[in-house]
Amino acid sequence: MSFVMPNFALAIPEIWLLAMICLVLVVDLFSPGRESAAAFYLSQVALLGAMWLAIQAQWGLDVVDFNGTYVADSLAAVLKVSIAGFAFLAYAYSRDYLRQRNLLRGEFYLIGLFAVLGGFVMSSAANMLTLYLGLELMSLSLYAMVAFDRDSRIASEAAMKYFVLGALSSGMLLYGMSMIYGGAGSLELSAIAEAAAAAGSGDILLAFGLTFALVGVAFKFGAVPFHMWVPDVYQGAATPTTLFIGTVSKVAAVPLFLRLIGEGLGALHGDWHVMAMIIAVASLVIGSLFALVQDNFKRLLGYSTIAHIGFLFLGFIAGTDEGYSAALFYAISYSLMAAAAFGMIVVLSRRGHEADAIDDLRGLNERSTGMALVMLVVMFSMTGVPGTVGFYAKYAVLKAVIDAGHVWLAVVAVLFAVISAFYYLRVLKAVYFDRLEGNTEAIPASATVRWVCGLNGLAVLALGIFPGWLFAVCRTALGG
């Protein structure tokens, strides 16, 4: 078989990002001072350039190249823009926080860029090997980010838990992929889809491979019963790292499901949608109920994330383009809300004090009306109050699952959405009705970080008022 030169222009987002990683590494090595200003600005330029290149090189295409291992399509473009965009936002929040704690080093930005590169590779994976390589590149980077503060015992403990459980889930995913390869006779997702359609649900090897693969995917999302790491990692890691994991990795997990389960094993929907139902309901129950008793705001957001992943899985359960586009819309919308919520912790934190308890939000309205309004918009949106982007995201996945004939699932989801309103309103009670003891303290964050948080909240509000354009983008990306 003759060698065919691949079209490297299709992979220009990854090539650009890898080249910029090398540049950041060299520049940071020789740049004077300890604040890594050059690494920060170059990293932001790298992310903005990657977003632009993803749109220019891949939007509107549907091309498989690099010997069947890489796909350039609209879905990849949307995912890459979202991943790079949330990484850009996380870096914008992080600089002052890291400087105050003597953690401002170029390695933080480099590790994050490697994680973004892993997400890019997953987004364009047309082969199980490519998918797994991208996943491991992102996972290893995230383990290092969690342990970045080497002097923090709780961060080291969280990183160890994350690493051990992550390695276990990666092993299960790889084991499932090996079974899928044995059943389909190919690593290419298109060939796997054809084999699954021909074999149907009677192929035991494919069915077992699907089960193990779904376990690995559920862990990466943080879905029940593979959620044990989420609250510990969210609480133990530095807040910028938690923000990065809570946004970038959640969007990056979407192609892991869509490419492997949705595209590759879509013909076995009758097998995997039952397991996905169990995961969705368990995530809604555990996430909502455990969040009720949390006093730590980061742990509350961790369990809240688990409940939101339950909603996200409702879109997957539908097994249709409409359901998948609703899940993609939900992932992007939730990540934008989570960025603002974790960003508020960054805004209120100062050297020697991590403002990660709900009590730290007491009297926020007296300290800063603007920041209180941001928290109001975000909590209402997470609750799913009509008129917010959270409401539209929930409506989209509920409609998809109802159209698929699972009305009872929608009823369960609405019930636990009502329960979740309690702990979101509890946060707003602290913001607006609880009073500070003693003199009112000024917001410790710099004006830059406050502006970033304000613009983040404004983006959540704007997306709630005008959700149609993002719906349209997600539908187009999924071929709708």
User: What are the tens digits of pLDDT across the range 66-81?
Assistant: 888 899 999 999 999 9
Residue type (1 letter), 219: F
Work out the pLDDT band at 112, boundaries 50, 70, 90. very high
List residues bridging with 73 in a β-sheet: 62
- The ranges assigned to domains in the chain are 8-477
In this structure, the number of other CB atoms found within 10 A of the CB of residue 247 comes to 26
pLDDT digit string, tens, across residues 176-189: 999 999 888 888 88
Q: If you average pLDDT over residues 209-234, what whole number do you get?
A: 88
Q: Give pLDDT, residue 402.
A: 92
| The pLDDT value given to residue 35 | 67
pLDDT higher than 70, residue 3: no
Residue 439 pLDDT grade (very low, low, confident, very high; cuts 50, 70, 90): low
Over the stretch 268-315, which tens digit does the pLDDT of each residue have?
877 788 888 999 999 999 999 998 888 888 899 999 999 999 999 998
Q: Which residues have C-beta within 8 Å of that of residue 383, sequence separation ≥ 6?
A: 390, 417, 420, 421, 424, 425
* Tokens coding 323: 């359901």
157-174: b or e for each residue (b if 16 or more CB lie within 10 Å)? Answer: ebbebbbebbeebbebbb
The angle at the Cα of 439, spanning 437 to 441, to the nearest 5 degrees, equals 100
Confidence of residue 85 (pLDDT cuts 50, 70, 90): very high
What DSSP state is assigned to residue 359?
Answer: G
pLDDT band at 478 (very low <50, low <70, confident <90, very high): confident
β-bridge mates for residue 127, sequence order: 188
Query: Would you say the pTM of this structure is higher than 0.95?
Result: no
User: What is the four-CA torsion angle of 355, 163, 154, 156, rounded to 10 degrees?
Assistant: -120
Q: Rounded to whole angstroms, how far apart are CA atoms 397 and 400?
A: 5
For the cut 60, the answer to whether the pLDDT of residue 339 exceeds it is yes
Q: Is 352 left (phi over 0), alpha (psi -120 to 50) or beta?
A: left
Sequential DSSP letters for 165-207: HHHHHHHHHHHHHHHHHHHHS-SBHHHHHHHHHHHGGG-HHHH
Give Cβ neighbours of residue 360 (< 8 Å, ≥ 6 apart).
297, 348
In a 10 Å sphere around its CB, with 0-12 CB exposed, 13-18 middle and 19+ buried, how is residue 100 labelled? Answer: middle
By the 8 A CB rule, do 312 and 221 touch? yes
The answer to whether the beta carbons of residues 285 and 416 sit under 8 Å apart is yes
Residue-level pLDDT at 2: 58
What lies within 8 Å, CB to CB, of 186 at 6+ separation is 192, 195
Residue among 112, 106, 97, 93 nearest 34 (CA): 106
**CA–CA gap between residue 262 and residue 259 (Å, rounded):** 6
